[in-house]
Amino acid sequence: MQALRPVPASSHGSRTTFVYKDLATTPYVFVRNDAMKSCLQPNYDGPFEVINREKKFYTVQTAEKVVKVSTDRLKPAYVLVEDPGISPRSVLSDANHERLKHLMFQ
């Protein structure tokens, strides 16, 4: 028992957090929701547009207001750029047309 020595307390609580490398350049981010949630509620809200970047905090435009959020709660969002020449309605109507043709030949 006399050979046991206490562990230095200086390393307790000095936990580093993971920060995505793409977070410095991405125009949109997801924000982690730390509130109590039901079982099927998502862990992240967004994507939200980044207004300003600082070392530890990002300013993000949510649906209601501009919010300052810690980088510990952020995750980069990879948003696809939509083709302006394609409308969702024309894609859906083409898909339904193909489906109907397939059903007629069964």
> How far, in Å, CA of 23 to CA of 53, rounded?
10
The band of 91, judged by pLDDT with boundaries at 50, 70 and 90, is: very low
* Residues spanned by the domain of 63: 18-80
Domain-embedded: residue 92:
no
pLDDT per residue over 7-62, tens digit each? 777 666 666 777 889 999 999 999 999 888 888 889 999 899 999 999 999 999 99
Query: Looking at the domain assignment, is residue 88 inside a domain?
Result: no
pLDDT value of residue 96 = 47
Round to whole Å and give the CA distance between 63 and 70.
Answer: 18
Give first-to-last CA distance, the chain, whole Å: 81
Which CATH number covers residue 22? 2.30.30.140
> What's the mean pLDDT in 52-78?
94
Whether the predicted pLDDT of 82 surpasses 50: yes
Residue 33 belongs to some domain of the structure: yes
Q: Are 91 and 99 in contact (CB under 8 A)?
A: no
User: What pLDDT does residue 48 have?
Assistant: 94
